[in-house]
Amino acid sequence: MTEIHHMAGHLIRRINQISVSLFQDRMRAEGLDLTPVQFAALFTLRDHPGVDQATLAGMIAYDRATIGGVIDRLEAKNLVTRQTSTRDRRAREVRLTPEGAALLARVHPTVRAVQADILVGLNQDERTTFLALAEKVAAAGNHLSRAPLLLPDDHDRPEPPHPSP
């Protein structure tokens, strides 16, 4: 093994490859065409119906410029609907359709089950530690992301200071 095999960025990329591969394999096994980002959007809409596309992008840490394409594909599958906001005519509110809610209920257990496979090789205590550390790293570096996680309450919070070089 070379130095790259011990670098955080390389390992995180590899774990992402594994995660996406497992997710896609499970969805395909269920006869579904659903991506991890589409699942994240559906899951978030379940708990936050009627959010606008830009807010949804922030809530799943996804690029605002391309969330429209994700919503387009979900709308084409009749899993979500969009309508112009009554509060802001420029915004488009997104909601699950009954079909979207049913699909989410169907795949949620599968997605939960695949989480253990993503962390294969770790015992339960190690998984708990890994997830806590991953959350800590993601939170600390959130402001460095091109698509930071922005929860609705975050819009009123000041941006954390950038670390000095």
pLDDT at residue number 164 = 43
Point out the residues of the chain with pLDDT beneath 70: 154-165
* Angle formed by the axes of helices 98-118 and 8-29, nearest 10°: 130
pLDDT at residue number 73 = 97
pTM: 0.88
What are the DSSP E strand ranges found in 19-118? 51-52, 80-84, 92-96
Rounded alpha-carbon distances, angstroms, from residue 67 to 39, 92, 125, 126, 154: 13, 12, 35, 34, 19
Q: How far apart are CA 75 and CA 95, in angstroms?
A: 10
